[in-house]
Amino acid sequence: MQPKNKITSIIHIKMGLLQERFKSYRVPQKYMEAGVYPYFREITSKQGTVVDMEGQKVLMFGSNAYTGLPGDQRVIDAAKAALDKYGSGCAGSRFLNGTLDIHVELERQLAEFECKDEALCFSTGFFVNSGVLAVICGREDYIICDERDHASIVDGRRLSFAKQLKFKHNDMEDLEKQLQKCDPNAIKLIVVDGVFSMEGDLANLPEIVRLKHKYNASIMVDEAHGLGVFGREGRGVCDHFGLLDEVDIIMGTFSKSLASIGGFVAADKETINYLRHTCRTYIFSASNTPAATAAAMEALHIIRTEPERIEKLWKVTNYALKRFREEGFEIGDTESPIIPLYVRDAEKTFTVTKLAFDNGVFINPVIPPACAPQDTLVRFALMATHTEEQVETGVQVLKKVFREQGIIK
């Protein structure tokens, strides 16, 4: 047995090495010292089109709450009722003691919503992609991803033993080249975002489906930013293209249009049965809280019964797209309520974010690794509850800031 002081000395040396490694990481401090650090701002009000942030009211154009439901009283009341009935948490995983009847009911509703046999609910959307992709394909199989897929997809495929292939963003010719590299008899899973979260453009699902049949592949679509926005009753991009039956696996999140936290995967009953018993992020994570589950279920009900909400979202989205184009902003190929305003300079991206905030407009900066170094942008996102007047205020503030920085004329 080693003397206590020797053990303490070894621990100190090991901790010192770890701390020394990260001592030189000063990138955040660089932007803090410049006064343009944009992250972790504290909000002291409900999420909405206007929020209280750091002592001022700002227009919120940085939210993923496309349906505008996080502050809806019906959603809040549903969460409160579940909290009263079931308590604050389940204290266990779905696999053991953590399954509630409302978990099962929400899964039933989501499966019906996405026209699939069954669904599984996870405690976060990130856990859906990172867990499902880790187990869905074996060593002799292939996972083929768009190069701009979400980080949760990237992490999921990294955890998989399957062979990994990537294709250029929405480049169907390159996707076909990757498929041609695969063993014809192996499972080939093509994984794409339905709506790409930074650029706002859509996956070319019609062409992906054509290649699916040509090469006997399967398709998984991340509907995180499509649910509540596209398709009948907000079913997503797969329904928007009329291809729900052609997509084998659909995932979605509760943290955006469904005004809560969590996620789900929907597929045929055999696939869900396999995931239910093998997916580690499902089996070994505590189940979603009663309040979050009830909130998501109420939000889903509202989306399905209030089509005018999605109509309002598209009305204000189309207005914003028109105005940004008229004012000379570079917005790329977006077809959604996600509007990228390209800056193409990391330093200026932080600067315009800070100047917009100072003028009462909150937007999100996007820099590597969320985009390529030459594609830095600020992300302007719409909710169904935004008004055209609020959008116009945002356009005018950003026009002034972008002109001052020499980004637009």
The whole-number pLDDT of residue 11 equals 52
Q: Where are the alpha helices (DSSP H) in 38-113?
A: 73-86, 101-113
Looking at this protein, which amino acid is placed at residue 182?
A: C
Active-site choice (103, 256, 348, 354): 256
Q: Name the catalytic one among 123, 197, 260, 287.
A: 197
pLDDT digits (tens, 9 = 90+) for 122-142: 999 999 999 999 999 999 999
Active-site residue 152, yes or no?
A: no
Which two tokens mark 217?
A: 């592949």
Q: Which residues contact 216 (CB under 8 A, 6 or more apart)?
A: 184, 188
CA distance 326 to 135: 47
Q: Is pLDDT above 80 for 14? A: no
pLDDT at 166 over 70: yes
pLDDT per residue as tens digits for the range 229-279? 999 999 999 999 999 999 999 999 999 999 999 999 999 999 999 999 999
Catalytic residue among 116, 212, 225, 348: 225
Q: What is the pLDDT of residues 190-205, one digit of tens each?
A: 999 999 999 999 999 9
Question: Is 225 considered catalytic here?
Answer: yes
- Name the pairing type of β-strands 263-267 and 249-253: antiparallel
Residue 256 designated active-site = yes
